[in-house]
Amino acid sequence: MSADKHLKSWQERFELAEEMQPIIGKLYRNQGVEVVVYGRPLLNASTIEIIKAHRLVRRFVGEKLRLRESYPFIAALSKLPVRQCKVDIGKLAVKYWQQHDSTDQIASYMQQALADAIACKDEVEPRNVVLYGFGRIGRLLARLLIARSGQSNKLCLRAIVLRGGRDGDLEKRASLLRRDSVHGPFNGSVEVDIENNAIIANGTYIQVIYANSPNEVDYTKYGIDNALVVDNTGIWKDEAGLGQHLQCPGAAKVLLTAPAKGNIKNIVYGVNDNDITAEDVICSAASCTTNAITPVLKAINDGYGILSGHVETIHSYTNDQNLIDNYHKADRRGRSAPLNMVITETGAAKAVAKALPVLAGKLTGNAIRVPTPNVSLAILSLNLGKETSKDDINDYLKNAALHSPLQNQIDYTDSTEIVSSDLVGSRYAGVVDSQATIAEENRANIYVWYDNEYGYSCQVVGVMQKMLGLNFINLPLSE
């Protein structure tokens, strides 16, 4: 009898998740509304992923959120004229059921909670995006942009620019988009149009342009104008180099997916993206490590004050290193990446000050490259302005992850079993590992995991939106 009860419960959850999927899809395609449950995205999620997202609510509020408790909120959301926003159905449902015992007032509750999105007018025109370079970050950005395709989409991937163009190159590029050893298969269909040098992914037509330098490219030849060029090559990091993109017909702005030099603004989305003005034509999305640690450091500095500290990153190896021992211009990086731990430099600690000037001169940093292909760990050893304890600072960071303006950047886990591979695909800039926290008097060691590829790419998309004036409301509003 007990076995039948569990199977019946599972079937009910499965069927509710299946009913949610088309509603969630239509909300995004038609209205630009992204549905999440405590930060976990439900767009393009499988039925199992939707069920898991509901189970994870237990970590934050002490009890799970049942699908039959959240489904009425998704149904109510589908009837409201909301546009261009992210709605956390989980938080809305939990708060409602804490105050009510029936579904009678859900419609009015949702009307009030989403008033800002209902009042919002969708007057922003879609903007063109070009990916200059198609390596690890370029292909993940492509996946993220393609997943957003639909009539309400505002970020339109129109082209990628590549060096080369030899026979078979297009098919190989498409194959690399289709298959990924770390992040798994592409969620959909990828085809090639050899005659027109294009890739068609889930109906998105992506022009492939072969050029050895920006001055060889005229985007208007392909019907592309007023585009944001996202430079993923890292070849140019200053205004003179990146400014070459602005000389291309059809290009309007440039975003570098690496730390920039000179006076270019280094932006960590969620921390200093409000520094971006309409006049900024070149910006940087900083580095993956800077994005991972800056939101957590801001939260801690706001709550405790940071007097000084050291950041040590345990970083997965990258394409910049050698597979086997060979010459490399940098110290130690010539040694085999899959076989060695390699001490190297990181500018992330100093780069934090560009996004968070209050920490200028307070942090040092170093890095150790380790034999894993993705997901890294930052250890923040901090001297604070006031005393704390493990429980105190963990509760503070948990609240920051759930309810602060940094909730889209900071995630939090209290799992005692989590390891690096569990974080592959995390959309957050950084994930606080509360079980590893050490705090005594005014000293604290905070451990922050981050998917240095996917999590960073999600941050880059946020900067892209900001540069193009695409501002999305996050609801419910942070407390």
Kindly state the tokens that stand for 147. Answer: 């997943």
**What type of residue is 276?**
I
Rounded CA gap, 336 and 329, in Å?
A: 14
288 among known catalytic residues = yes
Q: Is the dihedral of CA 269, 190, 422, 332 positive or negative?
A: negative
Please confirm whether the linkage preceding 476 is cis (ω < 30° from 0): yes
Closest residue by Cα to residue 66 from 40, 37, 42: 37
- SS3 string, the chain, reads CHHHHHHHHHHHHHHHHHHHHHHHHHHHHHHCEEEEECCEECCCCCHHHHHHHHHCHHHHHCCCCCHHHHHHHHHHHCCCCCCCEEEEHHHHHHHHHHHCCCCCCHHHHHHHHCHHHHHCCCCCCCEEEEEECCCHHHHHHHHHHHHCCCCCCCEEEEEEEECCCCCCHHHHHHHHHHCCCCCCCCCCCEEEECCCCEEEECCEEEEEEECCCHHHCCHHHHCCCCEEEEECCCCCCCHHHHHHHHCCCCEEEEEECCCCCCCCEECCCCCCHHHCCCCCCEEECCCHHHHHHHHHHHHHHHHCCEEEEEEEEEEECCCCCCCCCCCCCCCCCCCCCCCCCEEECCCHHHHHHHHCHHHCCCEEEEEEEECCCCCEEEEEEEEECCCCCHHHHHHHHHHHHHHCCCCCCEEEECCCCCCHHHHCCCCCCEEEEHHHCEEECCEEEEEEEECCCHHHHHHHHHHHHHHCCCCCEEECCCC
Single out the catalytic residue among 85, 248, 283, 288: 288
Give 392's contacts (C-beta < 8 A, 6+ positions apart).
439
Exposed/middle/buried for 99, CB within 10 Å: 0-12, 13-18, 19+?
Answer: exposed
* Catalytic annotation, residues: 288
